[in-house]
Structure 1
Amino acid sequence: MIGVTTYLQRAQTGVWDLEASFLPRVYMDGVIAAGGVPVLLPPQPTLPGVVDAVLERLDGLIVAGGADVDPARYGAEAHPRTDAPQTLRDEWEFALLERALELDLPFLGICRGMQVLNVLRGGTLHQHLPDVVGDARYQLGRGVFARVAVEVDEGSRLATLVGERIQAPVYHHQAIDRPGEGLVATARSADGIVEAVELEGATHGLAVQWHPEEDPDDRRLFQSVVDAARAHRDRRKD
């Protein structure tokens, strides 16, 4: 059972135009193809006991992509191109991930999910990459994913999964600036932009800045977290 966080924003379906919780199907497809059961986790108030009640029923967690993290969480003023804060989603995902780390629940962070992890661990973000690299190569706009060459550190957990060089589908205008406590950057683009981190000491603590759900022919990252979740479930039974 793999919990996957979701969006909460305006959506349209048929005659309806309303605020809704939703998640692109490609995330669910990735989990299902790897043999997991996706359980959607919409943003909600983090009332006492709720996070524990949710996580005790899950075997793994995926923090999905989406809007920018509120820069106030890492002590920064908002850049003009930073998304308006989504306070409810931030509070929910930070609470879920913090408790998941305490429980050593296997997790995978994707795009925003990597940024949530980094800020949770005390790191900071570049708020607008065109200011750093000079153009919009990491987020072309109009929903078009770019392909970026990513070099993966030899000997890292990520390298055992995907090898030492991949062409990754990217759509992000923010990225890690200062890594948080216990996070090791294990993949970078040619510009030096951090494209993956691993959490020291975690059974399965991996986050990537790219979008593996957009590559239906490569489910290795989903397979990794589902396999780790299955092992976590079996250990709890013993």
Structure 2
Amino acid sequence: MASNASEERRPLIGLTTYLEPSRHGDWDVVSALLPAAYVDGVRAAGGRPVLLPPSGPQGPGWSDAEVSDLDALVLTGGGDVDPARYGQAPLASTGSPNPARDHHEISLVRSALRLGLPVLGICRGAQLLNVALGGTLHQHLPDVLDGRRHQASTATFARTQVRTEPGSRVRELLGAEVAVHCYHHQAVDRLAEDLRVAARAADGTVEAVEAADPAAGFLLGVQWHPEQDAADRRLFAAVVAAAREASAAVSR
């Protein structure tokens, strides 16, 4: 007996990427890049990953019509969000801005929210989610904390113990405490009105945010890197499950 086609369909999960110079054989060109761990995480959780590159700085953002082809959006990690986006001048410790990426990812967030798509932000993605909704960032955590415990050394993930907030979606998914892979020198400062804190590190750093209104659907940002833990796909499974439910609701 043939199986039901709708049961076999894997949700289409958009993953943000960035444009960087790269070498491929004889070619030295600008490419749309993303670490494969993100793709692997989505596929292992039952989703179909699709890469979403930005265009030039002056290019149009993503439209609702384009984003509506997706079932969910994952905002991936990367460089610092331009402080001008939240009304601040850059510090010497803040990375060089990438206006094209900021512009396109903020347009993606806003379209996804208008369309009711599930959204998962990872590291930079959580920060961008807060900025897109009107919040601000600590530009350099060592300026407000003692030490660099969230970014111990170059290109090395720190293991951080995170405590989730009672009643949060993150606690429902991961339990009261979870050890995570962190690599960040920035974090949420002033929280956007439509978000609430869902987890913190022991030093008080905001490690996860989610929709303040539970009825708003799946809207979650984590400061850590779940794609680095192949043994724990719970966050990827959660966004894929939310995408499947949202797609089924639209079909009904």
Matches within 5 A, 1:144-183: 144-183=156-195
- Structure 1 residues 11, 81: CA separation in 2 closer, same or farther (over 3 Å shift)? farther
Maintained 8 Å contact 2:68/2:115: no
How many Å separate the matches in 2 of 1:31 and 1:124? Answer: 29
* Unaligned stretches of 5+ residues in structure 1: none
Per the alignment, residue 16 of structure 1 pairs with: 27
Which amino acid in 2 is paired with 1:31? V
Deviations 1:16-68 (A, max 9, x none): 333211110000001001100001000125537x4223211100000000010
Question: Of residues 233, 236, 239 in structure 2, which corresponds to 1:222?
Answer: 236
Q: Quick one: percent identity of the two aligned structures? A: 51
- 3-state SS of 1:227 partner: helix
Deviation at 1:109, TM superposition (A): 0.3
- 3-state SS of 1:26 partner: helix
- 3-state SS of 1:173 partner: coil
Question: Of residues 77, 84, 109 in structure 2, which corresponds to 1:97?
Answer: 109
How many Å separate the matches in 1 of 2:246 and 2:54? Answer: 25
Matches within 5 A, 1:107-126: 107-126=119-138
How many Å separate the matches in 2 of 1:153 and 1:184? Answer: 10
Deviations 1:73-98 (A, max 9, x none): 11101011111110110000000101
CA RMSD of aligned residues (A): 1.3
How many Å separate the matches in 1 of 2:134 and 2:68? Answer: 26
Give the number of the structure whose alpha-carbon radius of gyration is greater: 2
Question: Of residues 188, 191, 194 in structure 1, which corresponds to 2:206?
Answer: 194
Answering whether residue 170 of structure 2 is matched by residue 129 of structure 1, we say: no
How many Å separate the matches in 1 of 2:168 and 2:79? Answer: 29
Maintained 8 Å contact 2:199/2:208: yes
* Unaligned stretches of 5+ residues in structure 2: 1-11
How many Å separate the matches in 2 of 1:65 and 1:58? Answer: 20
Deviation at 1:140, TM superposition (A): 2.3
- 4+ residue stretches of structure 1 with deviation over 4 A? none
How many Å separate the matches in 2 of 1:182 and 1:123? Answer: 9
How many Å separate the matches in 1 of 2:92 and 2:28? Answer: 27
Answering whether residue 39 of structure 2 is matched by residue 28 of structure 1, we say: yes
Deviation at 1:159, TM superposition (A): 0.5
Provide TM-score, normalisation by structure 2: 0.91
How many Å separate the matches in 2 of 1:234 and 1:193? Answer: 37
Which amino acid in 2 is paired with 1:159? R
How many Å separate the matches in 2 of 1:13 and 1:173? Answer: 31
What count of residue pairs does the alignment treat as equivalent? 237
- 3-state SS of 1:3 partner: strand
Answering whether residue 17 of structure 2 is matched by residue 3 of structure 1, we say: no
How many Å separate the matches in 2 of 1:51 and 1:39? Answer: 16
Provide TM-score, normalisation by structure 1: 0.96
Per the alignment, residue 248 of structure 2 pairs with: 234
How many Å separate the matches in 2 of 1:19 and 1:118? Answer: 29
Deviations 1:107-147 (A, max 9, x none): 10000001111111111100011111122211123311000
